[in-house]
Amino acid sequence: MRVNVRVNGEQRQADDVWEGESLLFMLRERLGLPGSKNACEQGECGSCTVYLDNVPVCACLVAAGQAQDREVRTVEGLADGDALDPVQEAFVEAGAVQCGFCTPGLVVAAHDLLDRVPSPSDPEIREALAGNLCRCTGYEKILDAVRLAASRR
């Protein structure tokens, strides 16, 4: 089937999508957007988090066909050209990125949190990021990054 979807502000089209295909596969393999990562494919790790109509979802759990005529924003779409989003910048500056596999999902989840709660408490940050697993950082640098981003927005 053909899927028409708006991705990062651009109208895109994917052909030969099969019924069971995930939004994550379509984004990465058909639309050339490898930012969202495929770690568990079971909705457990959050590395594939993208916005679907402004709501963060695990793209591995959404069928590609469900995105028809909807709006998707991936981690690539948070930057403004070459200028990183403040959340992306903060992750780099705070040293919150090691292998980087979890980072795109964490950045989208943190971006969503700060849109809803501009000055979150530590428990609010932890709760918002509870669905995003990181095997490298021990999470402290990630918390630092979100606090830093909040202080700049």
Which residues of the shown chain bind ligand FES in the complex (CB under 6 A)?
A: 38-41, 43-48, 58, 60, 97-102, 134-137
Beta bridge partners of 56: 51
For residues 46 and 120, which CB has a smaller minimum distance to ligand FES in the complex? 46
CB of 43 to ligand FES, least distance (A): 5
For residues 14 and 58, which CB has a smaller minimum distance to ligand FES in the complex? 58
CB of 81 to ligand FES, least distance (A): 25
Gap between the Cα atoms of 49 and 111, Å rounded: 11
Cβ proximity of 36 and 62 under 8 Å: no
CB of 99 to ligand FES, least distance (A): 3
For residues 5 and 102, which CB has a smaller minimum distance to ligand FES in the complex? 102
For residues 2 and 100, which CB has a smaller minimum distance to ligand FES in the complex? 100
Concatenating the DSSP letter of every residue in 88-126 gives HHHHHHTT--SS-SSHHHHHHHHHHHHHH-SS--HHHHH
CB of 33 to ligand FES, least distance (A): 14
Gap between the Cα atoms of 35 and 38, Å rounded: 9
For residues 41 and 71, which CB has a smaller minimum distance to ligand FES in the complex? 41
Beta bridge partners of 6: 11, 71
Spatial CA neighbour of 38 closest among 112, 101, 96: 101
CB of 107 to ligand FES, least distance (A): 11
Query: Is the Cα torsion angle 120, 34, 139, 98 positive or negative in sign?
Result: negative
